[in-house]
Amino acid sequence: MIMRPALRKLALIAHIGSSVGWFGAVIAYLALDITVFVSQNIHFLRAAYIAMGITVSWAIVPLAITSLITGLVVSLGTSWGVFRHYWVIFKLLLTSFATIILLLAAPSINSMATMALNPKMAGTHLSMMGNTLLHSVGGLVVLLVILLLSVYKPKGLTRYGWRKQQEK
């Protein structure tokens, strides 16, 4: 079922807005993660861990879920479909994968933030908590691939998409 133009535009705005927000929040998180990786200053470490927890809980996770849901709504309600083009399938798989990894990592990030909130936590313990740099960089790379797929829309119909095109 194809959505009416006004509804399609609203869904597309929600999808683009949440996707761009997710991308920006991951870049902000990466800056905090780099701070944790390079800093020896206890105040910077404590602030970065706390900000990482807030950023994941209140920005990255909600935006990732919103991006996934609105992406499905847009693809279901437009001629692109979910299973007609390979690039749409790859976007869905990558977005789902990134969201699942994020949801699995969020509790440990929030745990680090909670520990950093404890004023009795010594600086040596804070510096030994580690970072999530691999996840940050990996997440950003996945989001960049999704962005490239969205812009370039590589050609290639699935069998289902080819059949649907022949029916028209």
Kindly state the tokens that stand for 30. 């990466």
Confidence at residue 122, expressed as pLDDT on a 0 to 100 scale: 81
Per-residue pLDDT tens over the stretch 105-153: 999 999 999 999 999 888 778 888 999 999 999 999 999 999 999 999 9
Mean residue pLDDT of the chain comes to: 95
pLDDT at 49 over 90: yes
Global confidence as pTM: 0.94
3-state secondary structure 49-106: HHHHHHHHHHHHHHHHHHHHHHHHHHHHCCCCCCCCEHHHHHHHHHHHHHHHHHHHHH
More confident residue, 1 or 56: 56
Per-residue pLDDT tens over the stretch 59-88: 999 999 999 999 999 999 998 899 999 999
Confidence at residue 20, expressed as pLDDT on a 0 to 100 scale: 98
Closest by CA position to 150, among listed 2, 10, 12: 12
